[in-house]
Amino acid sequence: MSQTDHTRESQQLLHLVFGGELKSLEGTDFKDTAAIDVVGIFPNYATAYSAWKAKAQMTVDNAQMRYFIVHLHRFLDPA
């Protein structure tokens, strides 16, 4: 493992997982923003992806229900 890989692994790269029912399948506007499901903030992409996948599988019967992963670390340190 290179120094760059080790540094990247040890950095805290926060990710937000949230979702809700969309107005249409073609967009990302939510039907009811008050009903958005904030799953949580996770310390890395792998755990965020696991949470996203679990929520997505729980709502597979509702085509308009979508969950997203936001890379919070990119907002905190845009460089």
- Condensed to tens digits (0 to 9), the pLDDT of residues 51-73 reads 999 999 999 999 999 999 999 98
Q: What would the pLDDT profile of 13-38 be if each residue is shown by its tens digit? A: 999 999 999 999 999 999 999 999 99
The topology (CATH level 3) of 12-76 is Alpha-Beta Plaits (3.30.70)
Predicted TM-score (pTM) of the model is 0.80
Burial classification of residue 33, based on how many CB atoms lie within 10 Å of its CB (0-12 exposed, 13-18 middle, 19 or more buried) = exposed
Distances in whole angstroms, Cα of residue 55 to Cα of each of 37, 65, 78: 10, 10, 28
